[in-house]
Structure 1
């Protein structure tokens, strides 16, 4: 039961943040004029690169935090701010996004777009990397078999998200025809709303832990909050 809860929590969070459906339009735009074989190759390589990026930041998350002197609360609050910005941008897809026309034009000139901009920053962007680092830091407080179990569970979740991302990009043309522009926009807005909820929870959890460490929240209230949010993946 614990496996499925942790797996689903991380899987949903990463799937929403990486937003494969929202990236379909951008992927088709920067591969406009290319044949289907090229698109499929770029989709596969981009998904593999994004998995490697998220996995490396997940495994090395604790070391990254220690090197820069960043606390888990700082990651939660900072990551929450990044994720919330992404969420609000998805709620207004008609507004100019972070990928300018110049960036898209430059991408079209590249012979290989799988790493940049596809894997980074479209799929494994700052929001996704912040989430896996936070998950890594939380696992660092565990011990023994529980720690290794969590590492394996979240690694599988990252792999599952990367696989679904590959499927979405590989069949991007078909999905766009089936869902249409309005359908894609509707899914994007739903993703944006869920992202904002995840971001707020990250910031609430980080702020509560920080205030408790400063002695501004009583132990009883802190324990009650920790119990209520125990299932929160990061």
Structure 2
């Protein structure tokens, strides 16, 4: 047998023994690279994220299982660590990769809000609010504190509650605004049910904050409620 024949047979043997998913990974990467992100589905994008964390396994079934369990790519990356790890095959390394993607998306969205006056980039505000907490499994109450030019001074998560309630203390919200020398606020919270329709309690809490803040020269521009099914603006609905 010649050296060339030996090398050819060795290469053939390696090709035959290589796991089938190696070719799938390269094809998927090539499609993403050449055709762009819209050319891959949610579960395929999830595969791309998990390739590095799970190098020795076909993860297409796992990616499909995660999408089936949580609903979509954004819901998977935003899911709590404990719930992600309930899925067989998902360990700390895989969860870390998903959480890095979620953090990166939030940073990018927040950067768009910080660049210019908030009221002139309202769509960026909504995008940021939805990215930050639309898919959270518990209610979270967030406040965007603005200066006199309506630029973001601080973005703070004030409270985390249960699946349908977050305790909010209006005087504490206004006290924090004074500490930051904020002259305006945007209130944000999520509805884990997915439906962003404001409740009576949401409206009453917003009005209580407005009543305390207004005599101190602090405006409440809006209260935005986000959920998987969209968002609602109390100002847009003429509820404040």
Q: Greater strand percent: which structure?
A: 2
Q: Which has the higher helix share?
A: 1
- The alignment's TM-score, normalised by the length of structure 1, stands at 0.23
Higher RCO (C-alpha under 8 Å, 6+ residues apart):
1
Q: TM-score, normalising length from structure 2?
A: 0.22
**Bigger Rg, structure 1 or 2:** 2
